[in-house]
Structure 1
């Protein structure tokens, strides 16, 4: 017996899927951030919290081996100090992707970063006394 004609056939290969189904209408190509970072999920150096400040060192290179257009865009934006959160918003990329790209630039010496100050030592009794004195003054 022959199988019924192609009713409800689900494609097995990407070639069988219409091109417009490989795109997310809001995010664009689904694979792009993964490709930009060569599959890396973490930067090679630096933590890059959302409030980490980044600034370009010197003039942005016109082209550098191993730098993509996103790297160059970061260099342009970082001619003045910018936070990782701001870069992420301007580039419209996932924060993990931006962190990896920033790590690449840090490795090549194109950017400098300033990590946020660590939180105050919560075991310091002076801190608690200062908070209590402040509350009493209210």
Structure 2
């Protein structure tokens, strides 16, 4: 053994970004009222100065999307998605609204996305 890690572990470690790095060390969103079913939608095109994850979220939210769906589609934990979505709302890149009552189809999609996390 020459002390090197197996190739598969090296590649995986190189592509994994710790969630606290993505959020700048924050665990709490700037907006405390974001829920799994909160609908978010992009206000315009993603600002080029945004980080990769934030640009990806704005692109995903081209159509109204729940916070849970954002987490699943971007591939980040739900808490990270809430922090990033909140940042984007404050920055004016996204707008959000709380649906009064969710259709069953939407609830089922949220459930499926949360299970996938």
TM-score (normalised: structure 1): 0.60
Residue in structure 2 matched with residue 60 of structure 1 by the alignment? 46
Where does structure 2 lack aligned partners over 5 or more consecutive residues? 102-117
CA RMSD, 1 decimal:
2.5
Number of equivalenced pairs:
96
Residue in structure 1 matched with residue 114 of structure 2 by the alignment? none
Distance 1:17 1:44 in 2: 42
3-state SS, counterpart of residue 26 of structure 2: coil
Which runs of at least 4 in structure 1 moved beyond 2 Å after TM superposition? Answer: 16-21
1:4-56 CA-partner distances (Å, limit 9, x unpaired) = xxxxxxxxxxxx994838x57xxx63x52110001100111242211100001
Shift of 1:111: 0.6
Distance 2:53 2:75 in 1: 11
- Structure 1 segment 14-93 matched on structure 2, within 5 A: 18=5, 20=9, 29=16, 32-61=18-47, 63-64=48-49, 67-93=50-76
TM-score (normalised: structure 2): 0.70
Whichever of the two has the greater Rg, that structure is 1
Shift of 1:90: 0.6
Distance 1:35 1:89 in 2: 18
More helix by share: 2
Distance 1:53 1:46 in 2: 14
